[in-house]
């Protein structure tokens, strides 16, 4: 059994060599660099796993091998001992299916062993935490606007809250993507490599303008490529760095709620729905291709449902206050 996982120059005809060709093919089909890197990582993990078991050529991969790898993902445990979520498992398997579909199309394998590979059923989980408006204000007050980084961070938090855009979408914003007159922000190459326009508020725009005029000039180093939010070295913020920074402000607020960039996305969508926004408008704002994805917020935003329940359900109105808290001992309890 070969223990070789990767070499500087992949052997011709090996899965790793064909992976590079697959990545180039994706680039010619206008897939985003982020998507290509994500697929390269997922497929590379499978190639490394297969190489440790003596399987290095795509022609040697069979359906049972792929099913064995799927079981490997199911039983895998992270550093903290937690299993991979079914969504993560599906995310790691989907690129592998696309890879073998491409290999079959290129006639590099006689048949596609992943053609009938079933992915784990999707999970429809509610967001772990949703912030109240007061809690949001507490977090927004965290950065120190007297410093360039603090002013930048306040503008970032305001944009996340006002627009509900994704982490990568914020990182890719350009100074030219903000339309101050129309109160709009252009999101370029969002999820699915699609552009969209999202509204924003006057307060967020004022913080962006303050950062642009006062802090950003101090952060620019060398040539300015127009990236809106910069690090102290004049570069775009790395995704993990942004997650850590936003998460630190959430933790520092002492709200007993965890989260980072996506916490603001969930919160904005939920609060808008509770305040009367049509779910289709929220779908357009979030950039969801399917309304089914947006429907999760209809389950979270229950404030109006609770009010209707309290006003209309006979059992919600206690007619005898003296019985509050009393339970019939003979009544069967669930």
Mean pLDDT of the chain, nearest integer: 85
334 is a domain residue = no
Asked whether the beta carbons of 229 and 220 are under 8 A apart, the reply is: no
Q: What is the CATH number of the domain that holds 200?
A: 1.10.443.10
114 is a domain residue = no
Per-residue pLDDT reduced to its tens digit, 110-126: 999 999 899 887 666 65
pLDDT value at position 327?
A: 41
9 is a domain residue = no
Task: Tell which residue, 154, 75, 68, 155, has the closest CA to residue 114.
Answer: 68
pLDDT value at position 58?
A: 95
234 is a domain residue = yes
pLDDT value at position 322?
A: 53
pLDDT over threshold 80, residue 198: yes
Question: Is the same domain home to 282 and 167?
Answer: yes
How far lies 25's CA from each of 20, 136, 190, in Å?
9, 44, 21
User: Per mean pLDDT, which range of 26-30, 103-107, 307-311 is the poorest?
Assistant: 307-311
- Return the sign of the alpha-carbon dihedral for residues 107, 112, 114, 116: positive
Question: Is the same domain home to 70 and 176?
Answer: no
pLDDT value at position 124?
A: 62
325 is a domain residue = no
- Whole-number Å distance between alpha carbons of 257 and 128: 9
pLDDT over threshold 80, residue 144: yes
Q: What is the CATH number of the domain that holds 61?
A: 1.10.150.130
Question: Is the same domain home to 22 and 152?
Answer: no
pLDDT value at position 129?
A: 79
pLDDT value at position 331?
A: 43
Question: Is the same domain home to 255 and 165?
Answer: yes
Confidence of residue 25 (pLDDT cuts 50, 70, 90): very high
pLDDT value at position 62?
A: 95
- Whether the model pTM is above 0.75: no
Looking at per-residue pLDDT, the higher value among 220 and 5 belongs to: 220
319 is a domain residue = no
296 is a domain residue = yes
Per-residue pLDDT reduced to its tens digit, 54-69: 999 999 999 999 999 9
Question: Is the same domain home to 167 and 84?
Answer: no
Q: How many domains does the chain have?
A: 2
Question: Is the same domain home to 297 and 148?
Answer: yes
Question: Is the same domain home to 143 and 286?
Answer: yes
pLDDT value at position 123?
A: 62
Question: Is the same domain home to 98 and 159?
Answer: no
Question: Is the same domain home to 262 and 183?
Answer: yes
Question: Is the same domain home to 203 and 286?
Answer: yes
pLDDT over threshold 90, residue 324: no
Asked whether the beta carbons of 42 and 92 are under 8 A apart, the reply is: yes
Question: What percent of the chain has a predicted confidence (pLDDT) above 90?
Answer: 58
Boundaries of domain holding 247: 133-306
Confidence of residue 300 (pLDDT cuts 50, 70, 90): low
Active site residues: 166, 191, 262, 265, 288, 297
Confidence of residue 148 (pLDDT cuts 50, 70, 90): very high
Question: Is the same domain home to 87 and 198?
Answer: no
Q: What are phi and psi of 239, to 5 degrees?
A: -55, -50
Question: Where are the strands (E) in the chain, listed by range?
Answer: 178-179, 184-187, 196-199
pLDDT value at position 285?
A: 83
Task: Tell which residue, 120, 50, 49, has the closest CA to residue 83.
Answer: 120
- Whole-number Å distance between alpha carbons of 254 and 177: 34
Question: Is the same domain home to 74 and 153?
Answer: no
- Whole-number Å distance between alpha carbons of 285 and 234: 29
Looking at per-residue pLDDT, the higher value among 40 and 280 belongs to: 40
48 is a domain residue = yes
Confidence of residue 317 (pLDDT cuts 50, 70, 90): low
């Amino acid at each position: 059994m070969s223990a070789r996982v990767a070499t500087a120059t992949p052997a011709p005809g090996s899965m790793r060599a064909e992976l590079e060709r697959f990545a180039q093919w994706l680039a010619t089909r206008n897939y985003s660099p982020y998507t290509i890197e994500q697929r390269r990582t997922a497929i590379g993990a499978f190639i490394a796993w297969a190489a440790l078991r003596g399987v290095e050529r795509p022609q040697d991969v069979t359906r049972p091998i792929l099913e064995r790898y799927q079981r490997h993902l199911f039983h895998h445990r992270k550093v903290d001992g937690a299993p991979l979520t079914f969504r993560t498992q599906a995310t790691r398997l989907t690129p592998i299916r696309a890879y073998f579909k491409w290999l079959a199309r290129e006639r590099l394998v006689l048949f596609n062993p992943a053609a009938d590979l079933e992915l784990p059923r999707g999970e429809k989980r509610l967001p772990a935490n949703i912030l109240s408006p007061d809690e949001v204000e507490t977090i927004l007050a965290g950065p120190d606007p007297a410093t360039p980084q603090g002013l930048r961070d306040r503008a970032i938090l305001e944009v996340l809250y006002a627009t509900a855009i994704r982490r990568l979408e914020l990182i890719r914003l350009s100074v030219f993507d903000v339309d101050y007159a129309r109160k709009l922000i252009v999101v370029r190459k969002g999820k699915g490599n699609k552009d969209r326009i999202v509204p924003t508020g006057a307060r967020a725009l004022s913080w962006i303008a303050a950062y642009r005029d006062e802090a950003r000039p101090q952060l620019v180093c060398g040539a300015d490529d127009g990236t809106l939010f910069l690090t102290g070295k004049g570069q775009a913020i790395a995704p993990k760095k942004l997650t850590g920074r936003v998460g630190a402000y959430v933790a520092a607020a002492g709200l007993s709620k965890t989260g980072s960039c996506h916490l603001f996305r969930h919160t904005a969508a939920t609060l808008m729905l509770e305040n009367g926004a049509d779910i289709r408008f929220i779908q357009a704002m979030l950039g969801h291709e399917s309304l089914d994805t947006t429907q999760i917020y209809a389950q979270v935003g229950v404030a109006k449902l609770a009010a209707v329940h309290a006003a209309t359900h006979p059992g919600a109105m206690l007619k005898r206050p003296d019985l509050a808290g009393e339970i019939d001992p003979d009544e069967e309890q669930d």
